[in-house]
């Protein structure tokens, strides 16, 4: 699928990684529907960047843990354009040892990292099937941003890793269920950005597990997303952009 002229939905759009994916899509000529939570300052800066790239954009602030809010988001999307690309990138990441895990924490993590992606995908599929009429397949693309920790879970992140593993499994199931009208794939980043609290010694230890010997960049992850959009024969796959960490 050619990206230029298409409309793409990106959730979590103001995040460090997702914002670079937004810019990558815009540079390729896509109009962008950016869904974000509360970082209005970052949203305004991103919107200014998209204007300079001369693509259309729609920015929607929304709590994606409420289904009625997602309904309102799609009501706005319908007025804007006919999206053919969905990138589920909204996520929360937090270390939580098992002794500190609560029902509320589990629900919140799964609501954002998994449930929201599934409900948004549901609404997206329904919209595409209603609005896009073409004999050429696929009609649309679904890309979920997962995490290499779904495959190699570190200690202290059991709930986060489980939520990303659920998204990986759902991606493969959706690829079968929605074919040939949709492709469904995932991009699984490794180390792309560092938490502010991490020490130099901790960085060194983590990088020792990466054959490439360095952290990746958001642009490298965005390139993998572009590749999956442009290739119409790949579906049900997870591309690890992790420098070999998952080996």
| Domains contained in the chain, CATH given | 7-241 (3.40.50.720)
What pLDDT is stored for residue 150 in this prediction? Answer: 94
Among the listed residues 36, 105, 160, 233, the single catalytic one is: 160
Taking the C-alpha atoms of residue 222 and residue 23, their distance in angstroms, rounded to an integer, is 9
- Which residues partner with 43 through β-bridges? none
What pLDDT is stored for residue 225 in this prediction? Answer: 98
What pLDDT is stored for residue 202 in this prediction? Answer: 85
Strands 57-61 and 85-88, bridge-based pairing: unpaired
Taking the C-alpha atoms of residue 230 and residue 100, their distance in angstroms, rounded to an integer, is 43
What pLDDT is stored for residue 200 in this prediction? Answer: 87
What pLDDT is stored for residue 41 in this prediction? Answer: 97
What pLDDT is stored for residue 128 in this prediction? Answer: 97
Parts of the chain with a pLDDT under 50: none
Quote the tokens at residue 184: 């469904």
CA nearest to 23, candidates 37, 40, 3, 39:
3
CA nearest to 237, candidates 147, 150, 160, 143:
143
What pLDDT is stored for residue 176 in this prediction? Answer: 98
DSSP label of 27: H
Question: Is 105 in the active site?
Answer: no
Write down the mean pLDDT value for the chain.
95
1: helix, strand or coil: coil
What pLDDT is stored for residue 199 in this prediction? Answer: 84
- Look-up of token digits 């990292």: 113
Q: Is the peptide bond before 199 cis (omega within 30 degrees of 0)?
A: no
What pLDDT is stored for residue 210 in this prediction? Answer: 93
What pLDDT is stored for residue 124 in this prediction? Answer: 98
162: helix, strand or coil: helix
């Amino acid at each position: 699928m050619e990206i230029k002229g298409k409309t793409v939905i990106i959730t979590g759009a103001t995040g460090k990684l997702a914002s670079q994916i937004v810019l990558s899509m815009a540079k390729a000529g896509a109009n962008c529907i950016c869904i974000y939570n509360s970082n209005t300052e970052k949203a305004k800066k991103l919107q200014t960047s998209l204007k300079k790239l001369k693509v259309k954009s729609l920015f929607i602030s929304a709590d994606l843990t409420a289904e009625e809010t997602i309904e309102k988001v799609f009501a706005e999307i319908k007025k804007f354009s006919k999206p053919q690309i969905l990138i589920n990138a909204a996520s929360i990441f937090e270390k939580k040892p098992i002794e500190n895990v609560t029902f509320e924490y589990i629900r919140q993590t799964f609501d954002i990292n998994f449930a929201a992606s599934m409900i948004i995908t549901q609404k997206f599929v329904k919209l595409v099937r209603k609005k896009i009429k073409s004999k050429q397949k696929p009609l649309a693309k679904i890309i979920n941003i997962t995490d290499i920790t779904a495959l190699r879970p570190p200690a202290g992140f059991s709930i986060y890793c489980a939520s990303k593993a659920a998204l990986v499994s759902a991606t493969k199931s959706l690829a079968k269920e929605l074919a040939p009208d949709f492709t469904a794939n995932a991009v699984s980043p490794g180390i792309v950005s560092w938490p502010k609290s991490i020490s130099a010694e901790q960085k060194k230890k983590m990088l020792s597990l990466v054959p490439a010997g360095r952290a990746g960049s958001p642009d490298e992850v965005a390139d993998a997303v572009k590749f999956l959009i442009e290739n119409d024969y790949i579906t049900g796959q997870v591309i690890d952009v992790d420098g070999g960490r998952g080996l």
